[in-house]
Amino acid sequence: MFDKLTERLQGVVDGLRGKGRLTDDNIADTLRQVRMALLEADVALPVVKSLIESIKASLVGTEFDKAFTPGQILVRSIHQELVRVLGEGVRPINLRAQPPVVILLAGLQGAGKTTTAGKLAKYLKEKEKKRVLLASTDVYRPAAILQLERLAAQLEVGFKSSDPKQSPVRLAQEALAEARSALYDVLIIDTAGRLHIDDEMMKEVQLIASTVSPLETLFVVDSMAGQDAVNAAKAFGEALELTGVILTKADGDARGGAALSVRQVTGKPILFIGVGEKTEALEVFHPERIASRILGMGDVLSLVEDVSRQVDIRQAEKLAAKLKQGKEFDFNDLHEQLQQLEKMGGLSAMMDKLPAKLASKAAQGQMPNDREITRQIAIIRSMTSRERRFPKLLDASRKRRIAAGSGVPVSEINKLLKSFMEMQKMMKLMSNGGMGKLMRTFAGRMPKLF
Amino acid sequence: MFGFKKSTADQNATAEQARPGFLARLRTKLNRGSSWLTKGLIDLLPGGKIGDEVLDELEMRLISADVGVETTERILSGLRKKVARSELADLDALLAALRASLIEILQPFARPLHIDTSKHPFVMLVIGVNGAGKTTTIGKLARRMLDQKFKVVLAAGDTFRAAAVEQLQVWGERNGVPVIAQATGADPAAVVFDACQSAQARGAHVMIADTAGRLHTQSNLMDELKKVKRVIGRIDPTAPHEVLLVLDASQGQNALQQARLFHQAMGVTGLVITKLDGTAKGGIVFSLADQLKLPIRFIGIGEGVEDFDVFDAENFVDALLKPVEA
C-alpha cells in the first residue's frame, strides 16, 4: 500500500545522492519534493506542514558526519518522524475490564466496518480465546444486519439478531443485555456508516456510545481516503471518545497517507490494519514496519508473523517427523503447502510485504502467481494417491490423464514436476524438521528471489 | 415484438438529462453553504492586486480538495501566466479565469450516458473497489431508468460479500424490479449470464449487473471480472454496452490508480463519482478528468434518489465557485 510513497521518497533521495553536502537551497528544494510526495500520498495538508516543520527542525543546525550522504540523513529524519507520528501510543487492544467488554466501531459509509467487525471477532476468538458476540445497529443499509449475521455464522461466533424496525440505541442496549446474560467476553457493536457532517447521525452514534459505554471505540478508516479523512477523523474524534483507529483495505496500492493524517488528528493509536478479502486478513499495526515500508525497507517481519500464525503447526511437525524418518517429500506434502499459501491470502498478500525491489523482481514473472498456485493444486488433485506418493510413476500416459483431469497442457505438468524435484532435493538436504526449515521451503519455491 | 416501444419521443437513443433542482442541491451539498474555493479570498488582496499570496492560497485549497498536485499545478500555471501578463486586474477577473480553466478541464468529459434501445437488452456492468457505492448506485440508476419507462432487470453479481445479494434484492422488491440471483459463493459470470438470458426473455430494455467490490491490485479478482465481461459477450458480442466504474469521491489520489487499472482490465466506458456530499469538496473530479480522460456519467451527492444525477461541467464548477444565494 505504501509503495508509491516509497517510490517517491526513493526518488528524492536518489536525487540528493552524490551532492555531498546539504545547502540551504537544496534543503528547501528537497523539502518541497517531500512535501509534494506526501501530498500526492494523500497526507492531509496541515499534517504535511507540521511534518515538514519537524523534519526541517531536525535537519537545520545538525552537523553531518561525512560518513553519511545527505540522502541518508534525510531518510533517517523522515523515517524517525514517520515512526514517531504513526507509532505514538500504539498498544494491544484493551480487553482488561469486567466482561462483557464492549467494542464500538464507527466510521464513514463504505469504510469497511462490517467486514472489520467480522475480522476482529475472528481475531479475538482465535488469538485471545474470547467468546465474542456480534451485533449490528445498522438499520439503514439494506441487508447490513444480514451481512453481519452471515459473517458470525461463518466464523462461529455469537450473533444478536437485530430488528431493523427498532432504534439503533435500543438495539445496542439489547445486545449488551444479551452479552451479559449469555456470559460473552466481548461484544462488538457495528454501526451504520455516517457522514461526519450529518449532525443527526453523529448524535445517534454518540447516544449508542453513552448507552453501552464501550471500552474501545474504534474509528474505522479506509486507507485510500483522501484529504478529507482529516476532517472526518476530527469530527468523529469530537463526537466520540475514540480510543483507537483501524485502517482498512491496506492491501491495495493506496499511498496510505490517510494513516498519517488520522493518527495525528485523532491522537489515537492505529491498532489494526485490514489487508485482504478474507476474514483472517487483519493484522496488528506495527509503526516501525510501516514506516520502514514507506522508506523501502520492506516488511519482512509481518510476513514471518503471518506464516507462523497460518501454517498449521501440526502439519508442519508431521512433515518434519516424516522427513526425519528418511521418507521423501512427496506431492501430498506439496499439496498441503500450496494450500497453506492459499490460506494466507495467496502470494500477492505476502508479496505486498516484501521490499519494493524484491517485489518488482518477483512481478517480472520469476515467481508463480496466485493463479499458478491454484493450477498446481488442481494438477496434484488430479493425481492418484499412489502417484502423489511415488512421483516417479508419472509416465507420458499418466501425465496426459492428469493434464486432461486438471485442464492444463502437459507442459505445465512437466514444469511442476521439475520444480517439485528441486524441492525434493532441498528437503533431503535438511537434516532436521521444525518451523524454520518449513519456512525455508517457501523461500525454496522462489530460489531466484532470495 | 419484445415490447421495445417506449413512451418517450426519441426512439433510437435517450440522452440522460439533468433534472431541475439538482443544481441547487449540488450547491448546498458540495459547499455546505459557502464556497471552499473562493471564500475569503478577497482578504488576501490588499490593494486589490493579484499577487503570489492569493495564488498560493488557491493552490493550497485545490490540493486540500484532492485536486492533486499535478492538476493543481496545471491550473495554477495557467493563472500565473495570466497574472504575469497583467491580464487579471482584480479578484473577479481571477475567478473568471479560474472558472474557465476548471470548465475547460471538465467539459470534454461531461458526456451523459446514451441508452441504445436497439440493444436487447442494453447491458451495463457496474464495477469498483469495496465500499465505493456500487449497489447503491445501481439502485439509483435503476430508479432513473424506471422513471424513463425502461424495463429493467438487475443481476446480483456480487456473490462474495455476505448478504450482498440480499441487499440488491431488498432494493428490487421495493421497486418491483426483477433481480436475478444465485446463492452467495456462486460464479458471478454464471449469474450474469443467466441474468442476460432472463433479461432477453423478459423483453427488458436494460440489464444492470452488480459485481463484488475488489481492489484493483488483486489480479485474480480482476481476472474474474474479465471473465464476467467475456461471458456477457457470448450472448451479445456488442455487450457489455457500458462498463461503469464507481469511484468514491472521499478517496484521494488512489482513485486515479483505481481507474487506470480497472480501465486497463475492463475498458471502462463511464465513471460514476459517489459521496460528493462529504466535505471532500469534489476536487478529485478534476484530477480524474484531467488525467484519465474518461467520460463522467453521473455524480452522487447523498443517499436519496434525488441526490444522483447526470454530471454537468458548468453546473459543477458553478456550484463550487458560487455560494448559495441567500
Q: Which residues of B touch A110 (CB under 8 A)?
A: 130-133, 248, 275
Per the listing, cell 506542514 goes with A49
CB-CB neighbors (< 8 A) of A146 in chain B: 162-163, 166
* Per-residue model confidence (pLDDT) at position A339: 79
How many Å apart are CA B285 and CA B298, to the nearest integer?
A: 11
Query: Rounded to whole angstroms, how far apart are CA atoms A225 and B250?
Result: 6
* pLDDT over 50 at B173, yes or no: yes
Is the CB of A143 less than 8 angstroms away from the CB of B254?
no
Helix extents (H) in A156-280: 168-181, 199-212, 229-239, 257-266
Q: A159: alpha, beta or left, given left = phi > 0 and alpha = psi -120 to 50?
A: beta
Tell me if B163 and A41 make a contact (CB, 8 A cut-off).
no
DSSP single-letter state for residue A202: H
Instruction: Judge: B215–A257 Cβ closer than 8 Å, yes or no.
Output: no
Say if residues A399 and A409 touch (Cβ distance below 8 Å).
Answer: no
Q: Is the pLDDT of residue B5 over 80?
A: no
Contacts A–B by Cβ distance under 8 A: 154
Name, in order, each residue with C-beta under 8 angstroms of A333's C-beta and a sequence gap of 6 or more. Answer: A319, A322
Report field, pTM of the whole predicted structure over 0.80: no
Q: What is the pLDDT of residue A65?
A: 58
Query: Is any Cβ of chain B less than 8 angstroms from the Cβ of A138?
Result: no
Cβ contacts of B260 on chain A, cutoff 8 Å: none
Minimal Cβ distance to B252: which of A112, A141, A227? A227
Domains and CATH numbers, chain B: 31-108 (1.20.120.140), 111-310 (3.40.50.300)
Asked if the Cβ–Cβ distance from B69 to A108 is below 8 Å, we say: no
**3-state SS, residue B285:** helix
- CB-based contacts of A300, cutoff 8 Å, min separation 6: A353, A354, A355
Distances (CA, A) of B44 to A100, B47, B98, B102, B210: 56, 9, 16, 21, 49
Beta bridge partners of A221: A247
B251 contacts in A (CB within 8 Å)?
222, 224-226, 254
With bands split at pLDDT 50, 70 and 90, how would you rate the model's confidence at B169?
very high
The C-alpha atoms of residue B298 and residue B308 are separated, in whole angstroms, by 7
Q: Which helix (H) or strand (E) holds B298?
A: strand B296-300
In this model, does residue B87 exceed pLDDT 80?
A: yes
Span B113-135, pLDDT tens digits: 999 999 989 999 999 998 899 99
Q: What's residue A16's pLDDT?
A: 52
Q: How far apart are CA B83 and CA B88, in angstroms?
A: 6
Q: Which residues of B265-297 are buried (b: 16+ CB within 10 A; e: fewer)?
A: bbebbbbbbbbbbbbbbbbbbbbbbbbbebbbb
Q: Which comes out higher in pLDDT, residue B23 or A74? A: B23
Which chain B residues contact residue A251 at CB under 8 A?
A: 215, 217-218
| B180: amino acid identity, one letter | I
* pLDDT reported for residue A103: 98
What the block records as the C-alpha cell of B247 is 469511484
The pLDDT value recorded for residue A434 is: 45
Asked if B217's CB is within 8 angstroms of A227's CB, the reply is no
Residue B186, all three cell numbers? 456462486
pLDDT band at B13 (very low <50, low <70, confident <90, very high): very low
Residue B43 has pLDDT above 80, yes or no: no
Distance CA(A380)–CA(B259), nearest Å, equals: 38
Task: Identify all chain B residues contacting A368, using CB atoms and an 8 Å cutoff.
Answer: none
Asked whether the CA dihedral B48, B51, B53, B55 is positive or negative, the reply is positive
Show the cell assigned to B185: 459463493
Between chains, do B129 and A224 touch, taking CB under 8 Å as contact?
A: yes
Nearest to B280 among A226, A258, A374 (CB): A226
Confidence of residue B325 (pLDDT cuts 50, 70, 90): low
| CA A193/CA A212 separation, integer angstroms | 18
Residue ranges and CATH numbers for the domains of chain A are 3-87 (1.20.120.140), 101-297 (3.40.50.300), 303-443 (1.10.260.30)
Q: Which of B32, B218, B252 sits opposite A226 (nearest CB)?
A: B252
| Interchain proximity B130–A108, CB inside 8 Å | no
The enclosing H or E element of B126 equals: strand B122-127
pLDDT value for B25:
80
User: Per-residue pLDDT tens for B214-263?
Assistant: 998 888 899 999 999 999 999 999 989 999 999 998 888 889 989 999 99
* pLDDT score, position A215: 97
For A110, the closest of B160, B248, B253 (CB atoms) is B248
User: Are B199 and B178 in contact, with CB atoms under 8 Å apart?
Assistant: no
| Whole-complex ipTM | 0.77
Please give the pLDDT value at position A351.
56
Average the pLDDT over B274-293 and give the result. Answer: 86
Q: First vs last Cα of chain B: how many Å apart?
A: 53
Pairing of strands A186-190, A216-222: unpaired
Chain A residues in contact with B219 by the CB 8 A cut-off are: 348, 369-371
Q: Indicate the range of B26-40, B98-112, B184-198 predicted with least confidence.
A: B26-40
In chain B, the residue whose alpha carbon lies closest to the alpha carbon of A222 is B251
- In the DSSP assignment, the letter for residue A225 is B
Q: Which residue has the cell 514507506?
A: A294
Q: Is A340 left (phi over 0), alpha (psi -120 to 50) or beta?
A: alpha
pLDDT, tens digit, for every residue of A61-73?
666 655 555 655 6
| DSSP classification of residue A98 | S
Strand duo A158-160 + A132-136: pairing = parallel
Q: What is the mean pLDDT of chain B?
A: 86
Best of B61, B165, B253, B277 to substitute, by most chain A Cβ atoms within 10 angstroms, is: B253
Q: Do A232 and B248 touch (CB under 8 A)?
A: no
- Strand duo A132-136 + A186-190: pairing: parallel
Sequential pLDDT tens for chain A (450 residues): 344 444 555 555 555 544 455 666 666 766 777 777 778 778 888 888 888 888 877 777 666 655 555 655 666 677 778 888 888 888 999 999 999 999 999 999 989 999 999 999 999 999 999 999 999 999 998 889 999 999 999 999 999 999 999 999 999 999 999 999 999 999 999 999 998 889 999 999 999 999 999 999 999 999 888 888 888 999 999 999 999 999 998 887 766 788 888 998 999 999 999 988 889 999 998 887 666 655 544 443 344 344 444 445 556 666 667 666 667 778 888 888 787 777 666 666 655 555 444 555 555 444 556 778 888 889 999 999 889 888 888 899 999 999 999 889 999 899 888 888 877 776 666 544 444 444 444 444 433 332
Give the three cell numbers for residue B36: 471552499
Q: What percent of chain B lies above the pLDDT cut of 90?
A: 54
CB contact under 8 A, B162 and A254: no
| Cα gap A424→B257, rounded to integer Å | 42
Q: Name B101's Cβ contacts closer than 8 Å, sequence gap at least 6.
A: B75, B78, B79
Beta B308-310 vs B296-300: how paired, if at all?
antiparallel
% residues pLDDT > 70 (chain A): 69
Residue A258 Cα, gap to closest chain B Cα (Å): 9
Say yes or no for a CB contact (<8 Å) between B253 and A41: yes
Which residues of B are less than 8 Å from A374 in CB distance?
Answer: 220
DSSP A230: H
Q: Rounded CA gap, B292 and B284, in Å?
A: 11
A-chain residue closest to B66, CA distance:
A227
pLDDT of residue A307: 45
Across the interface, do B250 and A346 touch by the CB < 8 Å criterion? Answer: no
Among candidates A110, A151, A229 on the partner chain, residue whose Cβ is nearest the Cβ of B131? A110
Torsion, Cα A87 A295 A116 A346, to 10 degrees, reads: -140
Complete DSSP assignment for A60-94: TTPPPPTTS-HHHHHHHHHHHHHHHHHHTT--PPP
Report the distance separating Cα A310 and Cα A345, nearest Å. 10
Q: Tell me whether residues B162 and A147 touch, CB distance under 8 A.
A: yes
Cα distance between residue A437 and residue A434, in whole Å: 6
pLDDT confidence of residue B90: 85
Distance CA A431, CA B311 (A): 67
User: In this complex, which of B257, B279, B283 lies closest to A231 when CB atoms are compared?
Assistant: B279
